[in-house]
Structure 1
Amino acid sequence: MGAITARRARDRSGSVAGARSGHRLVGPAAVLLAAALWGTVGPAQVLAGPAADPGALGVGRLLVGGAVLALLGLRTGGWGVLLRRGVRGWVALAAIATGVYQVAFAHAVHELGAALGTAIALGVAPVATGLCARLWTGERIAVGWVLATAAAIAGSALVLVPAGPRSASTAGVLVALVAGACYGVYTVAAKRFLDAGAPALPATAASLLVAGVLLSPLLVAHPDGLLDGPTVLQIAWTGLAGTAAAYAAFVFGLRRSSASAVGTLSLAEPALAAVLGVAVLGERLAPVALLGMLLLLAALALVVLVPRRAAE
C-alpha cells in the first residue's frame, strides 16, 4: 500500500512538473510566432509598388494593425486603465518607440534590402532590450543570457551574410540601428505597462494607433503608389498579420517571459526573413548560412529551455 501511495505521489509530482514546463514554454512560443509573422514584413515590402514611400508603408501598417486590435479590445474592456498614472507614460513611450521603429525599419529595408536591414536592426534589438530592462525594471543580466544572445546575433549574422559582394549605405545602417534600439525600448515599455495591470489588447492598440496618428502626415506628404494593387495587398498583409496578429502574440508572450529573453527570441525573425528571401525573392544565401542557422537555433533553444532565475 505504501509503495502504491509513493508511486502515485511521484506520478503527481511528474505531472505537475510537466505542466509547469509546458506553461513555461507558452510565452516563448508566442514570441517566436510573433517573430515569424514579423519576418514576413521585409519581403512583403520588397514586393510592394516601387513608387510607395517606405515610411508611408509603415504608417499604413500601424493604422491597420492598431484599428484591428482596437476592435478586438472593445470586447475585453479596460480602456480606462490606460489613463492611470503608472500606465499612461509607458503606453506613450511604447507608441513613440513603435512609430520610430516602423519608419526606421522600413527605410532600412529600402536602403539595404530585406535580409541585411533585418539582420542589423534585429541584431541590435536584444542588446537594447537587455540594457533597457536592466535600467527600467532592475532585471538581472545573467551570464547565460549574454552568451545565448551573442551566439544568436552571430548566427543571424551568418544566416544573412550576402552570397555575393554588396555595399551597404551608411544611412541605411544608421536607420537600422535606430530601429533596433527602438525595438528594445518598446519591448521594455510594453513589459512595464503589462506589469502595471494594463489590458494587453487595448494598451497595444493604443500604442499602435497613437504612433500611426502622429506619423500620418507621411501619408499626405508621400501619397504616390499607396493605392496601387501590390501596395494595398502589402499594407493589408503587414497590417493584419505582420502587425495586429504579431503584436497580439508578442504581448501575450511578453507577459509570460522576461524582457531580455524576449529580445533574444526575436532573432528568429532574421532566419525566416532569409528563408522567404530565398523562396520568394530569389535571393541567395552564403555557404555559411547553414552554420548560422544551427547556431541561431541552438541559442534560441538555450533561452527557451534553460530556466531563468528570478530577477534581482
Structure 2
Amino acid sequence: MKGKLSPLLILLAAMLWGTTGTTQAFAPETAHPIAIGATRLAVGGIFLGLMVLLIGKLDLKHLPIKTTILASLSMALYQPLFFSAVSITGVAIGTVVAIGSAPILSGLIEWLYLKKRPAKVWWCSTFLSIIGCLLLFSNNESVNVDPVGITMALGAGVSFAVYALVSSTLVEGRSSLSVVAVVFTLSAIWLSPFLFIFDMSWILSFRGIGASLQLGIMTTGIAYFLFAKGLIHVSASTAVTLTLAEPLTAAVLGVFLLGEYLNIISWLGILFLLLGIGILIWPFRTPANEKELSIAQK
C-alpha cells in the first residue's frame, strides 16, 4: 500500500509547487524573485526544523556528511538559477527548459552513475509530458531565447535532478522529516546572504508575510517532505517526471485565480501532461506491475 501511495505523494508535492507562481503574483511588487527564493528556503528550513524538534526525530549521527551537503547545495543552487532564468528568458522558456530538462537529466544520471536503465514506460511518459509542457506554454508571448538564461535554466534542471537523486539515497532507512529538515536548513544558510543583498522591507507587509508563509511552509516544508517520502518507493527519474504536474497546476490556477487565458494548443498540452503522468502512475496500481517496473529499472 505504501508503494502505491508514493507516486501520489510526489504528485501532491508537485501540485503544491505549482502554487508558487500564483503566490508570487500576490506578493508585493518590490519583492525580487531571488529574495523570494531565499525567503522561501529560510521559512521552510525553520518550519521543518521546528517540526522535527517537536516530534523528536532529529538524527544527525547517521546522515552521511558529503551526501547531505550535496543535496543542500543542489537545492540552494536551484533557487537563484531558476528564478534568474525566468527573469531573463521569460516564464515560458525558463520553465520549460528547467523543469522539462530535469526528468531527462535525472534518467541519464541514474543510467550513467547508478547503472539503472529507465523503463520504457518512463521514456514514453517523459516524452509525452515534455511535449505537453511545450504546448502548454506555447501561448505565452513573453519569450526571449537568451543563451545566458537558457544556460541558467539547464543549470536549474541539473540541480533539481541531482537533488532528487541524492535525496533518494538519503531517505533510505532514515526519517524523511529529519532528512529534509537538515537539508533545507543547510540550503537556507547557503542562500542567507541574499537576504542582506536585496531589499527585504516587503516582507513586513501583510501580503509579504502571507506570501512568505505560503511559500515557506506549503510549497517548501510540506511539499519537499512529501517528495522525500515518495522517493522511498519511487526512483528519482520517475519522481522527477511526476513533478511535471507542477506547470500543469500553475496553468490551471492561472486560469481560475489570475484570469489568464489558455488557447486550444495549451489545453492540448494539459492533455499530454495528464496522459504522461497517468501512464507513469499506472504500473503502481498492482503489486505485480510495480515489481515489473522495479525490475525494468535495474
User: So what's the TM-score if we normalise by structure 1?
Assistant: 0.85
Corresponding residue of 2:13: 34
> Superposed, which structure 2 residues align to 1:174-253 within 5 Å?
174-195=151-172, 197-224=173-200, 225-253=202-230
Per-residue CA deviations over 1:266-286 (Å, capped at 9, x if unaligned) read 111110111122223333223
Corresponding residue of 1:262: 239
Q: Distance in 2 between matches of 1:111 and 1:145?
A: 31
Contact between 2:92 and 2:142, CA under 8 Å: does it hold in 1? no
Identity score, percent = 33
Task: Give the AA of the match of 1:129.
Answer: S
Q: What is the DSSP-based 3-state SS (H/G/I as helix, E as strand, rest coil) of the residue aligned with 1:80? A: coil
The more displaced of 115-124 and 64-73 is: 115-124
Contact between 2:47 and 2:221, CA under 8 Å: does it hold in 1? yes
Task: Give the AA of the match of 2:217.
Answer: L
> Superposed, which structure 2 residues align to 1:96-107 within 5 Å?
96-107=73-84
Per-residue CA deviations over 1:86-113 (Å, capped at 9, x if unaligned) read x222111110000011122222343455
Corresponding residue of 2:41: 62
Corresponding residue of 1:77: 57
Gaps of 5+ in 1: 1-21
Contact between 1:163 and 1:286, CA under 8 Å: does it hold in 2? no
1:286–1:178 distance in 2 versus 1, CA, 3 Å: farther
Q: Distance in 2 between matches of 1:170 and 1:234?
A: 31
Corresponding residue of 1:13: none
Among 26, 42, 50, the alignment partner of 2:29 is: 50
Corresponding residue of 2:101: 124
Corresponding residue of 1:309: 294
1:117–1:274 distance in 2 versus 1, CA, 3 Å: farther
Contact between 1:151 and 1:295, CA under 8 Å: does it hold in 2? yes
Q: Distance in 1 between matches of 2:242 and 2:2?
A: 17
Q: Distance in 2 between matches of 1:58 and 1:166?
A: 22
Gaps of 5+ in 2: 284-288
Contact between 2:74 and 2:162, CA under 8 Å: does it hold in 1? yes
Q: Distance in 2 between matches of 1:276 and 1:288?
A: 17
Q: What is the DSSP-based 3-state SS (H/G/I as helix, E as strand, rest coil) of the residue aligned with 2:60? A: helix
Q: Root-mean-square deviation (CA), in Å?
A: 2.0
1:240–1:30 distance in 2 versus 1, CA, 3 Å: same
Task: Give the AA of the match of 2:42.
Answer: L
Task: Give the AA of the match of 2:21.
Answer: G
Q: Distance in 2 between matches of 1:150 and 1:143?
A: 11
User: So what's the TM-score if we normalise by structure 2?
Assistant: 0.89
Task: Give the AA of the match of 2:51.
Answer: L
Q: What is the DSSP-based 3-state SS (H/G/I as helix, E as strand, rest coil) of the residue aligned with 2:180? A: helix
1:232–1:112 distance in 2 versus 1, CA, 3 Å: farther
1:275 equivalent to 2:255? Answer: no
Q: Distance in 2 between matches of 1:82 and 1:56?
A: 33
> Superposed, which structure 2 residues align to 1:97-176 within 5 Å?
97-164=74-141, 166-176=143-153
1:178–1:46 distance in 2 versus 1, CA, 3 Å: farther
> How far off is 1:114 after superposition?
4.5
The more displaced of 143-152 and 72-81 is: 72-81
Q: Distance in 2 between matches of 1:265 and 1:211?
A: 23
> How far off is 1:117 after superposition?
3.3
Task: Give the AA of the match of 1:72.
Answer: M
Per-residue CA deviations over 1:119-155 (Å, capped at 9, x if unaligned) read 3221011012112222443322222211211111101
The more displaced of 34-43 and 142-151 is: 142-151
Q: What is the DSSP-based 3-state SS (H/G/I as helix, E as strand, rest coil) of the residue aligned with 1:288? A: helix
Contact between 1:43 and 1:276, CA under 8 Å: does it hold in 2? yes
Contact between 2:26 and 2:211, CA under 8 Å: does it hold in 1? yes
